[in-house]
Amino acid sequence: MSDDETNPRQRAVPSGRLSRFGHFGRIAAGVAGGMLAEGARRVASGERPRMSDMLLTPANVGKVADRLSHLRGAAMKLGQMISMDSGDILPAELTKVMERLRDNAHHMPPQQLQQVLGAQWGKDWRTRFRRFEPRPIAAASIGQVHRAVTHDGRELAIKVQYPGVRESIDSDIDNVALLLRMSGMLPGELDIAPLLSEAKRQLAEEADYQREGEQMTLFGDLLADDPDVVVPALDREFTTERVLAMSFIEGQPIETLVTAPQDVRDSTMRTLIGLVLRELFEFGVMQTDPNFANYRFQPHSGRLVLLDFGAARAVGARTVAAYRDLLQAGLDEDRDAVRQAAMGAGFLSPAAADRHGARIDRMIDIILGELHRPGPFDFGDRRFVGALKDHGMEVAADKAAWHVPPADILFVQRKISGTALLAARLKARVDVRALATERLARSAPAVAGPASNVHRP
């Protein structure tokens, strides 16, 4: 009996290009079959089915989630990004299905793990450890993490990259884009080529574990004066391009704080939001992946443990200036300035502003009203999201107004939005206005210097 059969969480990673392409074919076929079945069911019940209703069924999303979990790599990364939606855009039941992709990939069977580590460390690699736990403590999109102890007593967390993931990044992203085109979810006239190119570049960087180790060291240096956060230390002896070794730091998943006292949830998110502001306006470099699995919490110390720096990237001076203008306009409660700043940053296209100006202004008014409510911002109060969603969907229905913002803006906004979603999950209350006002006052108008001085490739 194979490892895959004895342990359902163990599945060998498809590493060949043809093998991975076959999995994408099975995703398309499975979804198409599910759409036909759902369409037939709705017709039989007297309904006129819409394409989105047939495509985004829990059964179809479940099939996609399972296949992406098996593939790992760039394909699974996309699913994780979709799962960050938190039910604000996708129906709640579909988001729930996709949540299984967060830090929940299948892990490699022992034979495949042995092959990968043998190639990186030599066939006798086990003799270099006092203990190496064969079962991973985490399995995600690009690699899985094992706990180990060296002969001199160093306790390590060792991230092992899945075979074939690095080589399949370009083809995986192209295949995902093809599936989106075929599904009709992306209009043919929308040019996403620059975004796909940037996604390929960033994922290639994430798959370079030596680069990630340097970024982790950089953040450790930048945050050495912050008593509220802790960053693992790089262990260079065992780190290669495909294996990342670091000090093991105890902590519990950040999402376990949902049952913590209100003050603990508030202080944790205050720390994290403050960190995002420092990354943007002080450091000039940001870890742009807000996956909840990248954060741990230490109950005994109250500190936030930061993990996974593969998506760390320099933030350009133009992007920093754009966010400064947007944030300052919001603090000033200046609707016109917010609209202009959103257009200047590339969030809003001129076509959208021309065709849907009144609706966009209503969305800005909703946001400004929430931002300037008396007292701390209550992330758990999501009543305003429904109104924003309704207006946003009306604008999004006009394909002539569709627009892809600059890649740098998208990556930064991914971190900001993901942080807000975590705050909503924890129902935290944070004085965001005070944090933002203080950070803008402390940072100089031109923040290009830190990005070039601090960031190391």
Active site residues: 289
Q: How far apart are CA 359 and CA 362, in angstroms?
A: 5
* Rounded-to-integer distance, Cα 263 and Cα 242, Å: 40
Q: Are 27 and 60 in contact (CB under 8 A)?
A: no
DSSP for 26-80, written as a single string: HHHHHHHHHHHHHHHHHHHTT----HHHHHS-HHHHHHHHHHHHHH-HHHHHHHH
Which helix (H) or strand (E) segment is 139 a member of?
strand 138-139
For residue 147, the cross-strand partners are 157
Here the tokens at position 33 are: 């079959």
Distance of alpha carbon 393 from alpha carbon 174, whole angstroms? 27
Phi, psi dihedral angles at 245 (to 5 degrees): -110, 135
Q: Under 8 Å CB-to-CB from 268, ≥6 apart: which residues?
A: 254, 257, 260, 297, 302, 304, 426, 428
- Tokens 């160093």, residue? 154
Q: Which residues contact 86 (CB under 8 A, 6 or more apart)?
A: 95, 421, 424, 425
φ and ψ of 429, to 5 deg: -125, 120
SS3 of residue 161 by DSSP: strand
3-class DSSP state of 378: strand
**Are the C-beta atoms of residues 285 and 412 closer than 8 Å to each other?**
no
Tokens of 210: 């030596």
CB-based contact 418:404 (threshold 8 Å): no
* Straight-line distance from the first to the last Cα atom of the chain, in angstroms, rounded to the nearest whole number: 45
Token pair for 402: 């569709």
Contact of 2 with 101, CB cutoff 8 Å = no
Strands (E), 152-284: 155-161, 229-230, 243-247, 252-253
Helix boundaries (H) for 332-398: 335-345, 350-355, 357-371, 383-396
8 A C-beta contact, residue 304 and residue 229: yes
Strand partners, 150: 129
